[in-house]
Amino acid sequence: MKFRRSERLIDMTNYLLEHPGRLVPLTFFAERYSSAKSSISEDLAIIKETFEVRGIGSLNTVPGAAGGVRYMVSIKPEEAVAFIDELCGVMTSPNRLLPGGYLYLTDLLGNPETVNKIGRIIAAAYAKKKVDVIMTMATKGIPLAYAVANYLNVPVVIVRRDNKVTEGSTVSINYVSGSSKRIQTMVLSKRSLAETSNVLIIDDFMKAGGTVNGMVSLLEEFKATVAGIAVLVESDHVEERLVDEYISLIKLSEVDEKDKTIHVTRGNYFTKEAF
């Protein structure tokens, strides 16, 4: 069965979007559509241009026998800024205030479009870096971790506070929570993470950074490397931050329970060079 160009473009777009970060040999597409490699190359040039113009991502062509094409996610800076500004606006609604100065954000993290957009923004910053695995802490970070992992096409490992029989043997560490100064435990299944992996740590919220710092210590037990740390929201009003190198999309600078005001701004993602 032969495919027309228009059909090839549609199916290739779907295939590339479903396999970000993966090198797809041209012969794969040539066989899939019974087409000449030269036609496939022309198709890819059209897709590449459209992906770039529309901010969908970039297509990198690797020449040679072992070569192929790789789709890497990106986002237009103005699209990321507009989205985060909108999210900041939504977050400052006074009815999000919970007793103790906490913010209700469960609905935002329950919306797949929102979560995917956040995941896309974070993934875009790491698309060209070496990331083998995403790590997060159960449970709030899980949706974000998978959203990022989807765009980078790498597995997710989930750190827990408790041991589960279905995890097999585990490695556990004790760490000091940065804000409450309490000693806590975190546990990771031994076989879930290969040694010397490059690990991107993702979390929804960072205050002093105790949890993130704990994950960094846990990675040392696995002889793994921190490829990066990214959080959705960082809280600004802490004396001493335990973590230095990280990106945040949103900075929560003030919550006034009495006046019912919440002050949030763009995070350091938008001032870092990487962006």
Distances in Å between the Cα of 192 and the Cα atoms of 89, 198, 206, 229, 263 are: 38, 13, 24, 19, 39
CB of 273 to its own copies, least distance (A): 28
The string of DSSP codes covering 156-195 is EEEEBSS--GGG-SEEEEEEE-TTT--EEEEEEEGGGS-T
Find the radius of gyration of the CA atoms of the chain.
21
The answer, yes or no, to whether the previous bond of 225 is cis (omega within 30 of 0) is: no
The SS3 of residue 244 is coil
Q: Residue 249 in contact with residue 233, Cβ under 8 Å?
A: yes
Stretch that binds its own copies, among 113-121, 173-181, 226-234, 251-259 (CB under 8 A): 113-121
The reply to whether 257 sits near its own copies by the rule CB under 8 A is: no
The reply to whether 9 sits near its own copies by the rule CB under 8 A is: yes
The reply to whether 37 sits near its own copies by the rule CB under 8 A is: no
Q: Using CB under 8 A, pick the residue from 36, 37, 102, 254 that binds its own copies.
A: 102
Q: Which is nearer to its own copies, 189 or 211 (CB)?
A: 189
Q: Which is nearer to its own copies, 147 or 200 (CB)?
A: 147
Q: What would the two tokens of residue 154 be?
A: 């790498």
Stretch that binds its own copies, among 59-67, 74-82, 134-142, 238-246 (CB under 8 A): 134-142
Q: Site residues (CB under 8 A) for its own copies? A: 5-7, 9-11, 13-14, 17-19, 46-47, 49-51, 53-54, 56, 98-100, 102-107, 110-113, 115-116, 138-140, 142-143, 146-147, 149-150, 153-158, 160, 165-168, 189, 191-192
